[in-house]
Amino acid sequence: MFKSDNGSAPSAAVTHTWRHSRSVDELIGICRGILADGAVNRSEAAFLLDWLERHREFAETFPFSTLYPRVRDAMHDGVLDPDEQRDLLDALSATVGGEVVSPSSGNSLSTELPFDNPFPTILHSASVFVVTGVFSYGKRRAVCEAIESRGGAVRAAVSPKTDYVVVGEVGSRDWLHSSYGRKIQEAAELRQAGSKISIIPERHWLESLS
């Protein structure tokens, strides 16, 4: 167990955050292992469900909150049919945030960040934005200026008052392990909790500028 800078035991909140971070890393590793052959079988799904059940303290946080219900529902009868296998493959791929190669086609399955589907209409005026990632549009300052010149406000941190989180297109594949992944994770959790916050890719934001 680690200690704080003053040598005292860490607070419960700090410990919980540390355990959550460690569990996310372990979950990503499990998903990568399952997806190594581009398929999900019953025994793998059963193992994953058992692991998720043992980490239910994080069930309400992203990515557990999206993956756990899909694994649980797929395994409710102990049978994993082809449709359920495909659904879990998509869910695991999205959780990993990296490429998965389909053995049947040799093609990479597209990876997903938790973007809105469908994409919302973007209204800059009087809206609050958080920008994260690396943008093909240019430096972060240029992105912020483009938003502010259209009446929007840019904030450094995600909050319930955020309207849009815009994710830069460059280098966003392994988002959970990137320096900006936490902002996306926080936005996804707020959205699931009922906040009217939209997570959108840079390309959709660019379309709103024209």
State which amino acid sits at residue 62.
Answer: F
Interior CA angle at 168 toward 162 and 170, to 5°? Answer: 165
**Are 132 and 104 contained in the same domain?**
no
For residue 142, give the nearest of 186, 201, 207, 206 by alpha carbon. Answer: 206
Instruction: Find the helix packing angle between 12-34 and 42-54, rounded to 10°.
Output: 180
Q: In which residue are the tokens 């359920």 written?
A: 84
Where residue 158 falls among pLDDT bands split at 50, 70, 90?
A: very high
Last residue of a domain, one of 109, 137, 160: 109
pLDDT of residue 10: 61
**Are 149 and 205 contained in the same domain?**
yes
Last residue of a domain, one of 46, 76, 109: 109
**Residue 162 sits in which domain range?**
128-209
Quickly count: other Cβ atoms within 10 Å of residue 111's Cβ. Answer: 17
Q: What percent of the chain has pLDDT over 70?
A: 81
Tokens of 172: 């966003």
**Are 40 and 75 contained in the same domain?**
yes
User: Tell me: the pLDDT tens digits for 32-51?
Assistant: 888 888 888 999 999 999 99
**Are 182 and 138 contained in the same domain?**
yes
pTM across the whole model:
0.52
Count of all residues that appear for the chain in the document? 210
Tokens of 198: 């939209």
**Are 162 and 78 contained in the same domain?**
no
Quickly count: other Cβ atoms within 10 Å of residue 55's Cβ. Answer: 17
